[in-house]
Amino acid sequence: MRTPPFRQQPSLITAITTLLLLVIVGTVSACAPFAPFPGANPATAASATTNLDTPAADSPAASPSPTPGGARREPPVGRAAATTSPLYRVRGTLPPSRCAAGGIQEGSASSYRQFMTRITRCLDRMWRARLTAAGLPFSRPSLRFTTTTRVSSPCGRWPAKAAGFYCSTNRTIYIGILRDALRNPYPINHAQFMAHEYGHHVQKLMGVMDYYGRSVWNAGPSTKLAFSRRLELQADCLGSAFLRQVSTDLAVERADWDSIIEWVTVNGHKNWLRNDHGRGRSQAYWMQRGFTVGSPSACNTWTAPANRVS
């Protein structure tokens, strides 16, 4: 059955969030609860947490990928990982790929889990191809489902009111099979949530996460907020680039996407008084760039002028 278009869905979710910097046993973490689209209850919005320290010893390993000529090259580190990543220089959109993720049956935990697993596999295929083409390492994130938020990770406890989170220490995406998620059967909502979380994993593989963590460790509040906006707006852009490539399979029409962008422009910043994810117009700008271009080449927030990440 065809999924209702965005303009008819009352509870759309996008990856625009509040960033809270925590120090937990020497670890810098970023907590990012998702904001709702029209009709969603802010108290039950999904969320994401990104841990920003160095990988734990048992993290999935990833060695540098060979370039087309066979030579291996080390990925850039530090500021260069964010500002001049070879990922930006690969031409063309993300590789076309069918994503037969199916649908979600309202109230069905098994269909929700199956859908999110299939979306993650689609993300694996697309990002493996693009990172390999850029000569960067690739490793799949682990995916863990849970029916309770009483779960601890190397990044700390489950964030309050979160639907899921990404922990970069063990490179794992945690997804809650929770009542509020099961009440929302619209596939594109959950696909966008997963694409944003996977965007943080891509940032980890790029070296962006490590650069960010070191940069904000002893920084003042204004610097932390500025870095936070660049980090989260980039994840929005990367996620939207993926959504463009699977929009046919998820039955997303252009008018549907335009409705989302219009809503985000007006409302995207209203829940985040600290402006750690950018104004609505900034969120809409980077989402639109990612969806229109369909490539991470459009997602370099780290060299963008301040007014584009304000």
The pLDDT tens digits of the residues spanning 18-37 come to: 222 222 222 333 333 333 34
Q: How many CA atoms lie within 13 A of 33 on its CB side?
A: 17
The mean predicted confidence, pLDDT, of the chain is 77
Task: Quote the CA–CA distance of 236 and 121 in Å, as a whole number.
Answer: 19
Q: Is 47 helix (H, G, I), strand (E, B) or coil?
A: strand
Neighbours of 91 (CB within 10 A): 7
pLDDT of residue 27: 30
Mean pLDDT of 239-260: 88
Place of tokens 């990172």: 131
pLDDT of residue 72: 52
pLDDT of residue 177: 87
**Mean pLDDT lowest among 6-20, 100-114, 142-156:** 6-20
pLDDT of residue 157: 84
Q: Which of 269, 286, 305 is nearest to 18 (CA)?
A: 269
What band does 7 get if pLDDT is binned at 50, 70 and 90? very low
pLDDT of residue 160: 67
244 compared with 274, residue with greater pLDDT: 244
169 compared with 241, residue with greater pLDDT: 241
Give the predicted TM-score (pTM) of the model: 0.78
282 and 233 Cβ atoms separated by less than 8 Å: yes
Task: Quote the CA–CA distance of 108 and 180 in Å, as a whole number.
Answer: 12
The answer on pLDDT for 13 being more than 70 is no
Query: In 17-84, where does DSSP find H-type helix?
Result: 79-83
User: Which tens digits make up the pLDDT trace of 81-99?
Assistant: 999 999 999 989 998 778 9
Helix axes 221-246, 187-206, angle to 10 degrees: 120
The answer on pLDDT for 136 being more than 60 is yes
Task: Quote the CA–CA distance of 147 and 102 in Å, as a whole number.
Answer: 22
Task: Quote the CA–CA distance of 133 and 83 in Å, as a whole number.
Answer: 18
Question: Could you give phi then psi for residue 15, rounded to 5 degrees?
Answer: -90, 80
pLDDT of residue 171: 94
Q: How many CA atoms lie within 13 A of 30 on its CB side?
A: 28
Pairing relation of β-strands 172-176 and 142-146?
Answer: parallel
Q: Token pair of 122, please? A: 């689609």
Task: Quote the CA–CA distance of 190 and 233 in Å, as a whole number.
Answer: 18
What are the beta bridge partners of residue 175? Answer: 145, 164
pLDDT of residue 192: 85
User: Which tens digits make up the pLDDT trace of 179-220?
Assistant: 888 887 888 878 888 998 999 999 999 999 999 999 999 999
Q: Is 3 helix (H, G, I), strand (E, B) or coil?
A: coil
The answer on pLDDT for 61 being more than 70 is no
Highest-confidence range of 31-35, 51-55, 234-238, by mean pLDDT?
234-238
pLDDT of residue 5: 34
